[in-house]
């Protein structure tokens, strides 16, 4: 793919690394994030700073967004100084935030009115996947636009799939988060059991992580737990946001998902304990504290 004028909005834990791959590949990059200091490493490598999303759109052919919450996405894309207020016909907008499927559909429709092509393309893989360009990217929109942006997706991920029309990328990410939610409970409970029974948690991960119980959660986040590393690869507060979207969507689909509901309850309790800015593996700290008070302690 020839050099593109790329805009990037949102340079947090994952966004900064993802945008960095664009620079490394030789593309020009215009960036905006609410806290300029978070963009400084990219600016030092040659990215141009923009004062707002509108300025990013004016300077770019393709604009990526990777922010925190659906409200952020809506303001950045559809707000007074948002991307669509200035994006030229033919621009491609790619939202990589985990957001509401209904918002992805709305953005697609509003973008289409301006001749702008929109994709919803949430990712999975956390900070490690972002740094190593090994993300899974699930995309909704049109096949034509997906094919056009695929070379850029390949700079950030290894597993990339077109899932269908607008919103289908976000629906796929909800499937991902629903699976992770219950898996994280199992990961934490397994390691608590290992510690209480006198086993070496690392040795336990070495063996069960290669069998039927193996998962990214136990092999990656489990090892962070054993190292008492609760730094965020993915914030608890953002995971609670994602589970909230999944619960809302499930109700609209007439689904009851008790595993998701339990995980959400536990993570909300973790936020109440002040863990919202830690990584999702900090669920271990909550269950550890619960068990200090006795196994029958209510969640919240």
Neighbour tally for 90: CB within 10 Å: 10
CB 61 within 8 Å of CB 86: no
The answer for residues whose C-beta is within 8 angstroms of residue 199's C-beta and 6 or more apart is none
> Catalytic one among 54, 100, 173, 241?
173
**80-84 — which CB contacts under 8 Å span 24+ positions?**
81/52, 81/53, 81/54, 82/53, 82/54, 82/57, 83/7, 83/9, 83/53, 83/54, 83/56, 83/57, 84/57, 84/110, 84/111, 84/114, 84/116
- DSSP annotation string for 45-61: TTPEE-SSHHHHHHT-S
**Whole-number Å distance between alpha carbons of 193 and 190:** 5
Q: What is the C-alpha to C-alpha distance for residues 51 and 56, in angstroms, rounded to an integer?
A: 8
Active site includes 173?
yes
- Look up residue 138 and give its DSSP letter: E
Q: Is 10 helix (H, G, I), strand (E, B) or coil?
A: coil
Active-site annotation, residues? 173
């Amino acid at each position: 793919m020839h050099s593109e004028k790329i805009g990037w909005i949102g340079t947090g834990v994952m966004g900064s690394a993802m945008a960095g791959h664009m620079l490394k590949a030789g593309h020009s990059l215009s960036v905006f994030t609410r806290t300029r200091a978070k963009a400084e490493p990219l600016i030092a490598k040659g990215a141009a700073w923009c004062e707002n999303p509108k300025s990013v759109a004016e300077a770019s052919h393709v604009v990526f967004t990777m922010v925190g919450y659906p409200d952020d996405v809506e303001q950045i894309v559809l707000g007074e100084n948002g991307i669509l207020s200035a994006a030229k016909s033919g621009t491609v907008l790619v939202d990589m935030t985990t957001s509401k499927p209904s918002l992805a559909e709305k953005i697609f429709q509003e973008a289409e009115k301006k001749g702008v092509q929109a994709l919803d393309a949430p990712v999975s893989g956390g900070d490690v996947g972002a740094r190593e360009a090994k993300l899974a990217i699930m995309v909704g929109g049109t096949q034509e636009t997906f094919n056009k942006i695929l070379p850029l997706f390949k700079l950030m991920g290894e597993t990339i799939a077109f899932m269908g029309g607008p919103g289908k990328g976000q629906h796929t990410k909800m499937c991902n988060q629903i699976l992770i939610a219950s898996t994280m409970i199992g990961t934490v409970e397994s390691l608590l059991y290992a510690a209480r029974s006198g086993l070496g948690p690392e040795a336990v991960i070495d063996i069960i992580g290669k069998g039927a119980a193996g998962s990214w959660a136990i092999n990656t986040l489990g090892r962070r737990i054993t190292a008492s590393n609760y730094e965020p690869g993915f914030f608890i507060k953002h995971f609670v946001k994602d589970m909230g979207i999944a619960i809302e969507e499930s109700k609209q689909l007439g689904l009851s998902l008790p595993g998701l509901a339990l995980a959400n309850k536990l993570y909300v309790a973790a936020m109440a304990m002040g863990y919202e800015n830690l990584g999702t593996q900090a669920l271990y700290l909550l269950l550890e504290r619960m068990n200090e008070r006795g196994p029958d302690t209510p969640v919240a």
